[in-house]
């Protein structure tokens, strides 16, 4: 663990990594600027190009236009998501790096089969092959030490426990908008004239793969629109 002195005043007495009580007082942009200055490079940001992804992409590229942006493409995204990727890539001139699975499995070849089995063993396998392994490969190939993510506390019970800066699988993980609400997201998008994912207007609150994403109207709980209520986390953030 690094002992890091803050350049931003006032300086906390203990390690900045441990002092999330201090970091939570900063704005998201200040958190990004602090992390870029004090946490080890290479720095990257990940994006699913989901409902609210324009917020983090705008913030990150406003501070550092060259920062690598990683996308783990399962090959089963909605057509609208691929269009959104192109739209935001052009808008922000993203330094985009796309990673895909390198191996095959039953769920990979026929993803809908994953939901025909009891339990989540096959779902976890699908997530590992299509999301976790490609992202870990991206981190290794880009020599990334610090990872920025746009997840928020109100999105799930697990995320509710997270702070601005964490350590995960040997990397620093920074959550600049961890404490933001849906209202904060909407206000930021409106202020900067940024788009939601186009399927937001079709009743979707969260976007993943075609075979595992439900609109709010077909889900009993907001946090279980993907993947069909079986498992909220895909494995990247746990």
Judging by beta carbons within 10 Å of its beta carbon (0-12, 13-18, 19+), is residue 56 exposed, middle or buried? buried
Q: Identify the bridge partners of residue 168 per DSSP, sorted by sequence position.
A: 171
Burial of 64 (0-12, 13-18, 19+ CB in 10 A): middle
What's residue 112's pLDDT? 53
**Looking at the whole model, is its pTM more than 0.85?**
no
Kindly state the helix (H) or strand (E) to which residue 87 belongs, with its residue range. helix 79-92
End-to-end CA distance of the chain: 19
The kind and range of the H/E element at 122 are helix 121-127
Calculate the alpha carbon distances from 25 to 31, 48, 82, 172 in Å. 9, 27, 36, 19
Q: What is the pLDDT along the chain (238 residues), one digit of tens a residue?
A: 333 444 443 433 334 455 778 898 999 999 999 999 999 999 999 999 999 999 999 999 999 999 999 999 988 899 999 999 999 999 999 999 999 988 654 444 555 555 444 445 667 777 778 888 999 999 999 999 999 999 898 876 766 878 899 887 788 999 999 999 999 999 999 999 999 999 999 998 888 888 778 787 665 555 444 444 444 545 554 4
* Distance (Å, whole) CA 67 – CA 79: 26
pLDDT tens, position by position, 22-62: 898 999 999 999 999 999 999 999 999 999 999 999 999 99
In the annotation, is 234 catalytic? yes
| CATH fold for domain 20-224 | Rossmann fold (3.40.50)
> Which of 57, 59, 234, 236 is flagged as catalytic?
234
Tokens linked to 158? 């697990």
* Cβ pair 131, 234 in contact under 8 A: yes
Three-state DSSP class for 160? Answer: helix
Q: Which two tokens stand for residue 222?
A: 């907001």
Q: What is the helix (H) or strand (E) element at residue 165, kind and residue range?
A: strand 165-168
What gap in Å lies between CA 76 and CA 78, rounded to an integer? 7
Q: Do 78 and 181 form a contact (C-beta atoms < 8 A)? A: no
In terms of phi and psi (left: phi > 0; alpha: psi -120 to 50; beta: otherwise), the region of 214 is beta
């Amino acid at each position: 663990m690094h002992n890091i002195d803050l350049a931003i005043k006032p300086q906390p007495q203990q390690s900045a990594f441990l002092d999330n009580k201090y970091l939570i007082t900063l704005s998201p942009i200040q958190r990004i600027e602090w992390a870029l200055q004090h946490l080890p490079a290479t720095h990257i940001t990940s994006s699913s190009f989901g409902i609210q992804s324009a917020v983090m992409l705008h913030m990150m590229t406003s501070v550092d236009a060259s920062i690598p942006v990683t996308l783990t493409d399962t090959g089963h995204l909605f057509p609208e998501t691929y269009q959104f990727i192109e739209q935001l890539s052009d808008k922000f001139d993203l330094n985009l790096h796309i990673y895909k699975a390198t191996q095959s499995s039953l769920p990979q070849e026929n993803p809908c089969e994953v939901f025909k089995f009891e339990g989540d063993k096959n779902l976890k396998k699908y997530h590992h092959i299509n999301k976790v392994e490609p992202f870990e490969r991206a981190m290794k190939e880009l020599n990334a030490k610090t990872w920025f993510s746009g997840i928020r506390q109100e999105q799930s019970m697990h995320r509710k426990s997270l702070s601005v800066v964490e350590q995960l699988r040997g990397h620093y993980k920074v959550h600049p908008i961890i404490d933001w609400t849906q209202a904060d997201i909407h206000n930021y998008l409106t202020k900067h004239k940024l788009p939601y994912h186009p399927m937001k207007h079709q009743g979707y609150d969260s976007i993943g793969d075609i075979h595992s994403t439900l609109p709010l109207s077909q889900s009993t709980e907001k946090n279980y629109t993907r993947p069909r209520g079986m498992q909220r986390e895909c494995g990247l953030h746990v």
